Structure 1
Amino acid sequence: MEKNYISISLLLVAVAYTLAKDLGAKDKKDTNEYKPKLPQTLSRGWGDQLIWTQTYEEALFRAKSGNKPIMIIHHLEDCPHSQALKKVFAAHKEIQKLAEKFVLINLVYETTDKHLSPDGQYVPRIMFIDPSLTVRADITGRYSNRLYAYEPSDIALLYANMQKALKLLKTEL
């Protein structure tokens, strides 16, 4: 009889241990694996307080109807160069303020408009388009082999190019 009690006790301890282990694992999954993800905004981290357009076609329409230049940012979410530029861009207060004067779009895909990749499809690539829907080939970065590329260290040049795009708009009016 005593052997039965010992066997039943060991069995109960084993079952209790297994159940407790499963519950602990389930709690871990609940906090990590099943954590609800927040919806991604159109800014994709480039400036959450700015107004971003969803499609290239929408940006073209808004530029023409609002008489504003477009600033188009081509990037990839898993590109370390894009991520580094995004971090500096989002933190630069003057750029964020100046960006309010543009129709903004950031694309993680290539458009069918070949004018947006005149020197190749690389990222990050920032281009300006005036309200007449002309790509401003005269507003470039510092690299001769990637004309529209910017690095985090080029943030002052990007700011100057944004000012140039707005100044050209005023002189063309």
Structure 2
Amino acid sequence: MNFSTNIVHYGRLILRLIIITQLFRLAIVSSSIPILQHPCSQELARGFGDHINWKTYEEGMAEALDENKPILLLIHQEQCPACHDFAPKFAADENIAECSKYFVMINCKDEEEPSGYTPDGKYYPRIIFLSPKGDIILGIRNDMAKENYLYYYFTPDAVVRSMVRVVKLFYEVQHDGEYEDL
């Protein structure tokens, strides 16, 4: 190899290293961009957690039947101060996100509120746990709530406690007492 061949060879090598470095940088940047589980997940989250696989009422009811999973039905209002206060707490809680994998998560706001889910009144936000057929699981409610607001959750821990009780109840009934702890 002569001098000019060496320069061309090293030039190509440097160009390859630059391209590889740029591809590596692109991979690092793109890996830090969150990937949504559902194309509409962020829109449906409405502040209650983009990382949760939220469904509309219609989608969620169909999926719960198909997959035989319990439902967490979240009902809230745009103009509700309690809803706005609770949303970031709900969204930030890792235990809720982990437990959500065992549920079909339905998020209904304003006029999307389905009828028939006011077991103790119409207040917001309400979290109601349903069977895969859409029946209210009456024994599961916020154990810290006041008498007329049993489905009003104001702490993520209370939501997680109810989620765990539903999972244990559901899988105990479905699988003859065999379930894994969350």
Q: Same fold (TM over 0.5)?
A: yes
- In the alignment, structure 1 residue 98 sits paired with structure 2 residue 94: no
Query: How many angstroms does 1:133 deviate by?
Result: 2.6
Q: Which residue of 2 aligns with 1:52?
A: 54
Distance 1:168 1:74 in 2: 23
Using the TM superposition, give the Cα deviation of residue 112 of structure 1 relative to its aligned residue in structure 2, in angstroms. 4.3
What SS does the corresponding residue of 1:100 show, helix, strand or coil?
Answer: helix
User: TM-score scaled to structure 1, two decimals?
Assistant: 0.70
Aligned ranges 1:1-173 → 2 under 5 Å:
41-54=43-56, 56-109=57-110, 111-114=113-116, 116-141=117-142, 142-151=145-154, 154-173=155-174
- Unmatched 5+ stretches in structure 1: 1-39
Task: Read off the aligned partner of 1:146 and give its amino acid letter.
Answer: Y
Gaps of 5+ in 2: 1-41, 175-182
Give distance in 1, aligned partners of 2:87 and 2:50.
Answer: 12
The one-letter code sitting in structure 2 at the alignment partner of 1:75 is H
Percent identity for Structure 1 against Structure 2? 35
1:60-106 Cα deviation digits (max 9, x unpaired): 11111111111011111221100111110001111111112211111
CA distance in 2, matches of 1:80, 1:133: 28
If you compute each CA radius of gyration, which structure gives the higher value, 1 or 2?
1
The residue identity in structure 2 corresponding to 1:145 is: N
Match of 1:6 in 2: none
Return the letter of the residue paired with 2:55: T
Cα distance in 2 for partners of 1:59, 1:94 equals 21
> Quick one: which amino acid aligns to residue 48 of structure 1?
D
Q: Which has the higher contact order (CA 8 A, sep 6+)?
A: 1
Q: Output the aligned Cα RMSD.
A: 1.5
Closer, same or farther: CA 122–93 of 1 in aligned 2, 3 Å: same
Q: State the alpha-carbon separation in 2 of the partners of residues 146 and 96 from structure 1.
A: 24
Secondary structure of the residue that 2:135 maps to in structure 1? coil
SS in structure 1 opposite 2:45?
A: coil
Q: 2:166 and 2:129 mapped to 1: Cα distance? A: 7
Give secondary structure in 2 for the equivalent of 1:128. Answer: strand
Report the AA paired with residue 157 of structure 1: A
2:162 and 2:81 map into 1 onto residues whose CA distance is 23
SS at match of 2:74: strand
Deviations 1:111-167 (A, max 9, x none): 4431x112111101000001233211111112211110011xx32121110001111
The CA distance in 1 between the partners of 2:140 and 2:67, in whole Å, is 21
Q: How many residues align?
A: 130
Q: TM-score, normalised by structure 2?
A: 0.67
- Which secondary structure does the structure 1 equivalent of 2:158 belong to? helix
Q: Measure, in 2, the Cα distance between the counterparts of 1:118 and 1:136.
A: 10
